Amino acid sequence: MPPGVFLALFAAALCHGAEWTYTGQYGVQHWHKQYPYCGGVFQSPIDLQTQLMKYDPTMAPIEVWNYNLSAQEQLTLGNNGHAVKLSLPSRMRISGLPRRYSATQLHFHWGSPTVPGSEHTINGKRFAAEMHIVHFNSDKYANVSVAADKSDGLAVLAVLIEVGEFNPAFDHFLKFINGIKYRDQRVQVPAFNVRDLLPSQLDEYYRYDGSLTTPPCYPSVLWTVFRSPVTMSHRQFLSLSTALYSSRAQESVPMPLNGNYRTLQKPDHRTIMVSFLDGKGIHGSLTESPYQSPFIRKQIIQQLLSGDLGDLGDEGISQLLPKLGRKLAVSKKLANHKNRNSWNEKLSMQNTFVPSLLKHSRTSNNVNQFGFYEDNLCYVSIEEEVIHQLKRSHMGKQLVDALKDKVFPELNLRSYLDCRSNLALPTIRHLLNRRPAENTEEFENPLVKAAQGLRKGPLKHQIDPAFGIQAAVQRKTSKARVHRLPEGVEWED
């Protein structure tokens, strides 16, 4: 090969980033070598298991806006070598989330004519295919490329697909699929009512925090997976699963494009919020306050960290404070008692944008190093256990004080993000301490009022006055975490 041609191909490869596939030497199990987040936590897809679910009555039906596009408008249908992708105009959006999320594209994942290939599964059941409609946080970010690596950047609607009745909505673009048989081919197709691709009812869905399901696997996605699948005919499914190639037209050996779904990822102690309650084992409900869903809770923590507290004020801060005392139930599961060294890992928060907290556990052990189950894990229990063990030591009081200052905020933050407790005043102060001193002054008075209100309350376990407002010191700002993309790489999911 002439040197000039080789250099040109090498430069083209750099522009497209590291190669990845679903199988082989660049397959799913090797993604983390070039894309570290693919080997991290809070990844997608996951198995939506009943025991992980919690009903949230505040989750309203999904509302879509401007999905009914005019046939006079043209959309770009393309084959990127990994999936079929259809461009969407940003005036399409969804409501019901704290921010405005605008559409950017939809794409599909599927198996083969004999093997189902949805990415998400429900209690182990895999469907024939899955459609993702990708939206970005247009209130904060200019476009999807800017939003893709931000912790609050993306929201994806996922639709599970079964083989069944003919669905005319899919034929709006499937009839053009022969024009994109090979990688990098694109065609223009008339727009249509994208709402027709969704289930008829948009009020029953699963929601959790996860990631892109393709490299670079940023943990930046708020997932909404509709409970009811839609159908496409056997002929329609065959045209999707057998007519395409992941290789380019000029390549001598064509590579079929199928089986383009990522293997299931670990739930990592995440809670799956559901908008429905059908008596089939879904655990409890959330009714204590409007700040209940994991997404809302993550946004509140992000606001406390970044200083973007304009939406809180006196009343908002008071709503963050505890109503249940110090008890911090962390898990309902029984435990494997063998590995007690995992305790510190399990206390980490369910979030990636607060890097100072401990790394999240990949184990299922639920007994802490003091020997009691996490159902009873709370600050008071730890304090009493330490006092008991160190009552004869003059260092006991100092160690208990250290627990108050360090361990309690970490425990409460994790418990709050797991939707298992309210946010306590010491934790709020712990988060505010990361911000510049001059930015915290306006919140000192509301916190003082809140602390006084707590001391007057009837709770059995009151917040220690030692946690009251102290003189501000120099602090560092911590904003929403950015998951950097390797230079020259474009994300595709």
Q: Where are the domains of the chain?
A: 11-274, 296-467
Strands (E) in 66-138, as ranges, are 74-79, 84-87, 93-95, 101-110, 121-122, 125-126, 129-137
Dist CA 318 CA 195 (whole Å): 40
How much is the pLDDT for 407? 73
Choose among 103, 151, 100, 157: nearest CA to 130. 157
Q: Does residue 172 have an active-site annotation?
A: no
Dist CA 330 CA 421 (whole Å): 9
Q: How far apart are the first and last CA of the chain?
A: 34
* 351 contacts: CB under 8 Å, gap ≥ 6: 151, 209, 298, 301, 357, 417
Q: For residue 388, what is the enclosing H or E element?
A: helix 379-390
Dist CA 197 CA 129 (whole Å): 13
Would you mind telling me the total number of residues written for the chain in this entry? 493
How much is the pLDDT for 291? 37
Whether residue 420 contacts residue 349, with contact meaning beta carbons closer than 8 Å, is answered with no
Distances (CA, A) of 296 to 185, 245, 293: 40, 41, 5
The one catalytic residue among 30, 32, 82, 483: 82
* CA quadruple 273, 275, 281, 286: dihedral sign: positive
Question: At how many degrees (to 10) do helices 294-306 and 425-432 cross?
Answer: 50
Whether residue 247 contacts residue 183, with contact meaning beta carbons closer than 8 Å, is answered with yes
Q: For residue 226, what is the enclosing H or E element?
A: strand 221-226
Dist CA 87 CA 107 (whole Å): 9
Choose among 258, 217, 214, 287: nearest CA to 54. 287
Choose among 268, 273, 148: nearest CA to 223. 273
Neighbours of 88 (CB within 10 A): 22
How much is the pLDDT for 467? 34
pLDDT in tens, the chain (493 residues): 444 443 343 333 333 446 899 999 999 999 999 999 999 988 999 999 998 999 888 899 999 999 999 999 999 999 999 999 999 999 999 998 878 999 999 999 999 999 999 999 999 999 999 999 999 999 999 999 999 999 889 999 999 999 999 999 999 999 999 999 999 999 999 999 999 999 999 999 999 999 999 999 999 999 999 999 999 999 999 999 999 999 999 999 999 999 999 999 999 888 899 999 876 556 555 544 333 456 667 767 776 776 555 555 555 555 555 443 333 333 333 333 333 333 333 333 333 333 333 333 333 333 333 333 333 344 455 556 666 666 656 666 676 676 667 677 777 777 777 666 677 777 777 777 766 555 555 566 666 665 555 445 443 333 333 333 232 222 333 345 565 554 444 556 6
Whether residue 220 contacts residue 154, with contact meaning beta carbons closer than 8 Å, is answered with yes
**CATH number corresponding to 11-274:** 3.10.200.10
How much is the pLDDT for 293? 59
How much is the pLDDT for 6? 36
